[in-house]
């Protein structure tokens, strides 16, 4: 198990970018813990989950050369093609060459979105100011509590309600084992879940995921509150560096105000057969 990084002094911008990518990769590789999953380490690094779903299989790292790049990509895809396994390819700061995204599109991938990678020294984040409402902040301990957490998360990230049982089962399998690197949290007010968050402790840092806030409560500063409260939990466990990725300009500005800096970008490419 990788040791946590408990100091941020002296870490360069390139090292921060690597930590962001390594945490995202470790989070993705967790899907390989499901029945039928596997991780192929090396160059390239890829994983499968045993599920034929595009977000649950993929390539997380590849350093290729410019010579016959399309053919190299097709060779990497061969195990996925043979089993008709849909996949995501994350093109991050460690990926090579710079034209990899264009080659993926030439090989049948769709550019899904770009994400901005950010990181911060958790001890340098702004001071937490409680939101102006009566609330509780609670960790998720078991499947029953996760079931109350799930609807707001699914609604925010556009996951159909018909997928609820499937997503709950996957999250449950990955979240409550003895060696799980996941922690989930919720804020409640007025008898309902109003914000959610998750931490993944991969690559020795605390990666923030699954931030959701109920729209009618956002003016109360819930995005800032759930982020800072969640990272306080990471600091209690000894973590010093926090990482995250975001697609949305408003969230980018919000995280910057909290003390996060931009260090890299990820291109997200997806392929189905």
- pLDDT tens digit string along 128-161? 999 989 999 999 999 999 999 999 999 999 999 9
Per-residue pLDDT at 220:
82
| Co-location of 105 and 130 in the same domain | no
Overall pTM > 0.75: yes
Per-residue pLDDT at 10:
74
| Co-location of 230 and 158 in the same domain | yes
**C-alpha to C-alpha distance for 63 and 101, rounded to whole angstroms:** 12
Looking at 99, 117, 135, the residue that finishes a domain is: 117
Per-residue pLDDT at 9:
60
Per-residue pLDDT at 151:
97
| Segments of the chain with pLDDT less than 70 | 1-3, 6-9
Looking at 71, 99, 117, the residue that finishes a domain is: 117
**C-alpha to C-alpha distance for 132 and 249, rounded to whole angstroms:** 25
User: If you search the block for the tokens 């300009």, which residue do you land on?
Assistant: 249
Per-residue pLDDT at 218:
79
Cα 178–chain centre separation: 21
Looking at 88, 117, 146, the residue that finishes a domain is: 117
In a domain, 237, yes or no: yes
Which residues span the domain enclosing 31?
13-117
């Amino acid at each position: 198990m990788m040791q946590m990084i408990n100091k941020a002094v002296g870490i360069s911008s390139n090292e921060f970018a690597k930590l962001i990518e390594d945490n995202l990769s470790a989070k993705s590789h967790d899907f390989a813990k499901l029945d039928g999953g596997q991780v192929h380490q090396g160059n390239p690094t890829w994983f499968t989950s045993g599920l034929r779903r595009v977000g649950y299989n993929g390539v997380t790292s590849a350093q290729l050369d410019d010579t016959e790049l399309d053919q190299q990509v097709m060779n990497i895809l061969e195990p996925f093609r043979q089993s008709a396994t849909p996949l995501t390819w994350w093109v991050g700061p460690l990926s090579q060459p710079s034209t990899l995204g264009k080659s993926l599109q030439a090989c049948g991938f769709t550019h899904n979105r770009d994400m901005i990678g950010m990181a911060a020294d958790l001890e340098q984040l702004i001071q937490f100011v409680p939101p102006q409402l009566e609330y509780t902040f609670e960790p998720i301990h078991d499947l029953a509590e996760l079931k109350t957490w799930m609807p707001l998360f699914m609604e925010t990230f556009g996951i159909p309600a018909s997928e609820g049982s499937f997503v709950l089962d996957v999250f449950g399998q990955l979240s409550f084992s003895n060696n799980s690197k996941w922690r989930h949290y919720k804020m409640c007010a007025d008898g309902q879940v109003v914000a959610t968050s998750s931490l993944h402790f991969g690559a020795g840092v605390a990666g923030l995921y699954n931030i959701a806030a109920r729209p009618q409560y956002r003016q109360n500063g819930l995005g800032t509150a759930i982020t800072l409260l969640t990272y306080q939990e990471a600091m209690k466990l000894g973590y010093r560096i926090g990482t995250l990725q975001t697609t949305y300009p408003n969230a980018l500005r919000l995280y910057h105000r909290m003390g996060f800096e931009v260090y890299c970008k990820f291109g997200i490419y997806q392929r189905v057969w």
